Amino acid sequence: MEAAEIAARVEQFVREMVVPYERDSRCGAHGPSEELVAELRDKARAAGLLTPHIGAEGRHLSHRDTALVLRAAGLSPLGPVALNVAAPDEGNMYLLGRVATAEQKVRFLDPLVAGRARSAFFMTEPAADGGAGSDPSMMQTRARPDGNHWVIDGCKAFITGAQGASVGIVMAKTGEGATIFLVDLPDPAVRIERVLDTIDSSMPGGHSVVAIEGLRVPADQILGEVDKGFDYAQIRLAPARLTHCMRWLGAATRAHEIACDYAVKRHAFGKPLIDHEGVGFQLADNRIALQQALLMIDWCAGVLDSGAPGIAESSMAKVAVSDLLFGVADRCVQVMGGTGVSGDTIVEQVFREIRAFRIYDGPTEVHKWSLAKRIKRETLARLTLA
Ligand SMILES: Cc1cc2nc3c(=O)[nH]c(=O)nc-3n(C[C@H](O)[C@H](O)[C@H](O)COP(=O)(O)OP(=O)(O)OC[C@H]3O[C@@H](n4cnc5c(N)ncnc54)[C@H](O)[C@@H]3O)c2cc1C
């Protein structure tokens, strides 16, 4: 099936089958319940649309084709979870597909692709302890060798989906570098201390603070090589940033549709809201921003499809798209007045979700800072040549 056809079927599935669940009482502050996730995935499986971006023999669609499918999935905040293209599983599946051994794939990747398991990526640590956040080199979680095992101790924070995950991808310092370990969950040595109350609510299991105490991991559960963890995290990071952009583009598009419907139907001062220039301009700005976001994603996806790492490009795309889509969501709220901030539509949720997106997978300022360093290097090189 062509990607455009998959995307069309995904869009129809999300609009007809997933959207009605948006008011389901099992959509909680810490994401949809496990029961709801399983129910939605059964429907996606029956429709032949589960994990639609990964085909036979684990082959992924190209990044540009993935953009079509994930935008369609994102049209509902529940769509990515229903179709098994949500964060962090989607990025984790990508990483395991690229780096894991054949045995590791059977054990850790296959259940994820089948949509029967969820995973969590353990990198960030509590700010109060001075751990890794914007700066991963501050990582305090340590792994030490012990016979043919490694023993991990530390504390992690904001771990999406840790509650309920059965596959853990844990990053720990090993000497000067960091190493990634694949872990079966739950494990008594991995204790969820609390699920944080955060602004967003679309990701199953929410975001947890997790204590890791004496976690024993066999050496054959190391992902790739010892001390190469930060390199592998980069493999995951550039595409994962972009897939967030793709999904949130879908969500912002839907919020815009809802705001347009409101502005056409709702009257004030003798005419539909959309006929007031102040409202019409906001919707026009939305249309422009959505198109800019789409083009930025398409450009960056093309760079990744060429085989380039796309580190700077995905930074630029993430900063630009998260800002553009936040503007769209904000204007949707404004156009809809009180309804915009109420739970009567998903516009309010889309606004909250996209606010958080400016922080995870690298805060906007960190991306700009690293771009500025690159600009300085390039400028100095040009000046030296001149
Ligand atoms: C909803 C959500 C889900 C998440 N899921 C996961 C997950 O599954 N796994 C995981 O490991 N982590 C996860 N995170 C953590 C996320 O990656 C971190 O929040 C992020 O890296 C920032 O780290 P921090 O929160 O410690 O902020 P800090 O490092 O304390 O930074 C705070 C602010 O300082 C500013 N800043 C930092 N450095 C610079 C700089 N060089 N120049 C200018 N300004 C700067 C930025 O504005 C930044 O927002 C998640 C976070 C959120 C909010």
Q: Are 87 and 95 within 8 A, CB to CB?
A: no
Q: Are 30 and 163 within 8 A, CB to CB?
A: yes
Give the span between the Cα atoms of 280 and 278, in whole angstroms: 6
Residue 98 has pLDDT above 80, yes or no: yes
Q: 371 in ligand 1 pocket by Cβ < 6 Å?
A: no
Instruction: Tell which residue, 329, 251, 217, has the closest CA to residue 78.
Output: 251
Distance from Cα 385 to the centre of ligand 1, integer Å = 37
Q: 160 in ligand 1 pocket by Cβ < 6 Å?
A: yes
Task: Compute the average pLDDT of residues 40-65.
Answer: 96
pLDDT band at 51 (very low <50, low <70, confident <90, very high): very high
pLDDT of amino acid 151:
98
250-308 confidence digits (pLDDT tens): 999 999 999 999 999 999 999 999 999 999 999 999 999 999 999 999 999 999 999 99
DSSP 62: P
pLDDT band at 220 (very low <50, low <70, confident <90, very high): very high
Give the span between the Cα atoms of 316 and 373, in whole angstroms: 14
174-203 confidence digits (pLDDT tens): 988 999 999 999 999 999 999 999 999 999
Residue 1 has pLDDT above 80, yes or no: no
Cis amide leading into 363 (omega within 30): no
Task: Compute the average pLDDT of residues 18-42.
Answer: 97
Q: Contacts from 358-365 at CB under 8 Å and sequence distance 24+?
A: 358/322, 358/323, 358/326, 360/158, 360/244, 361/237, 361/240, 361/241, 361/244, 361/318, 362/134, 362/237, 362/241, 362/315, 362/318, 363/134, 364/319, 364/322, 364/323
* 3-state SS assignment for residue 50: coil
pLDDT of amino acid 386:
78
Instruction: Tell which residue, 189, 228, 181, 231, has the closest CA to residue 210.
Output: 189
Share of the chain above pLDDT 90, in %: 97
pLDDT band at 327 (very low <50, low <70, confident <90, very high): very high
Q: 198 in ligand 1 pocket by Cβ < 6 Å?
A: yes
* 3-state SS assignment for residue 360: coil
CA distance readout (Å), 23 to 32, 78, 132, 238, 345 = 11, 11, 37, 33, 9
pLDDT of amino acid 186:
97
Residue 210 has pLDDT above 90, yes or no: yes
Which residue minimizes the CA distance to atom 25 of ligand 1?
133
pLDDT band at 385 (very low <50, low <70, confident <90, very high): confident
- Average pLDDT over all residues of the chain: 97
330-346 confidence digits (pLDDT tens): 999 999 999 999 999 99
